[in-house]
């Protein structure tokens, strides 16, 4: 993953006007970068607001010579809470931020997730609102419960198909093999999960591996919430 890190360094330096080839940049303590393989995300840790603002403007990066779309967002902080809204109409993060409104609290960020137009919204404070405004409508806000995604393209857990970098290399849902361009039908009738090896589709919600990861996510969220409540 070193190539991705170098390309990201170059993209950041372009925005903050720092050359990625200088020794100062390579040893710069303002930024740490690592790749989250399961979720296919690049995480960046920085205490420099200029670098943060530059990162949030990045829409795409050249990966292996091809422009790859990125959705940059800022992670939730201690004094924030997240909620889910549905039927966001396919808006981008910028459009959501411009069209969402609330009189009772500040909306910190919003970004689309998934394929059915839900959006993840971060609010300032520790109390989740019941409803907020979207354009001229009032919509319900639901509590955010972290869950593991199953990719409809490669059938691995941890990311949705919109985050899969090789959309042109789908796999058959039954046998996990690479799809033949001349035939869209899987040659095997017996399903085999790519994640646990069981006799079911990899996207099944009752997959033991998927259930196990969801339990870990729920425990992690519960622990994090308890720590935030202790500090507040």
Mean pLDDT, residues 134-159 taken together: 84
Sign of the dihedral through C-alpha 182, 188, 191, 196: negative
Residue spans of alpha helices (H) in the chain: 2-16, 23-26, 49-56, 93-99, 208-231
pLDDT in tens, 193-219: 888 989 988 888 899 999 998 888 888
Q: Is the pLDDT of residue 3 over 60?
A: no
pLDDT in tens, 58-116: 877 776 677 777 778 888 777 888 999 998 878 888 899 899 999 988 999 898 887 67
Quote the CA–CA distance of 228 and 232 in Å, as a whole number: 6
**Residue 132 has what pLDDT?**
95
| Cβ neighbours for 83, distance < 8 A, ≥ 6 positions apart | 120, 121, 123, 128, 129, 141, 142, 143, 144
pLDDT in tens, 28-56: 556 777 777 667 777 888 887 887 888 88
What is the H or E stretch that residue 44 is in? strand 41-46
Counting residues of the chain whose pLDDT is more than 70, the rounded percentage is 70
Answer with the residue of higher pLDDT: 163 or 221: 221
Q: Are residues 83 and 129 in contact, defined by beta-carbon separation less than 8 angstroms?
A: yes
């Amino acid at each position: 993953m070193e190539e991705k890190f170098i390309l990201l360094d170059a993209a950041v330096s372009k925005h903050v006007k720092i050359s990625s080839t200088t020794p100062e940049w390579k040893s710069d303590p303002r930024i740490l970068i690592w790749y989250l393989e399961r979720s296919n995300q690049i995480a960046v840790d920085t205490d420099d607001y200029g670098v943060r603002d530059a990162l949030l403007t990045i829409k795409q990066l050249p990966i292996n010579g091809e422009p790859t779309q990125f959705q940059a967002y800022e992670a939730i902080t201690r004094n924030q809470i997240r909620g889910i809204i549905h039927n966001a109409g396919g808006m981008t993060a910028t459009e959501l931020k411009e069209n969402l409104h609330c009189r009772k609290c500040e909306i910190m960020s919003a970004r689309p997730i998934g394929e059915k137009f839900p959006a993840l919204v971060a609010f300032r404070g520790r109390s989740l609102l019941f409803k907020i405004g979207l354009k001229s409508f009032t919509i319900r806000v639901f509590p955010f419960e972290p869950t593991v995604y199953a990719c409809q393209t490669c059938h691995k857990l941890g990311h949705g198909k919109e985050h899969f970098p090789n959309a042109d290399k789908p796999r058959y849902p039954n046998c996990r093999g690479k799809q033949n361009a001349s035939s869209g039908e899987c040659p095997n009738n017996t399903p085999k999960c790519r994640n646990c090896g069981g006799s079911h589709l990899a996207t099944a919600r009752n997959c033991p591996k998927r259930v196990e990861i969801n339990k870990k996510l729920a425990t992690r969220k519960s622990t994090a919430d308890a720590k935030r409540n202790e500090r507040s």
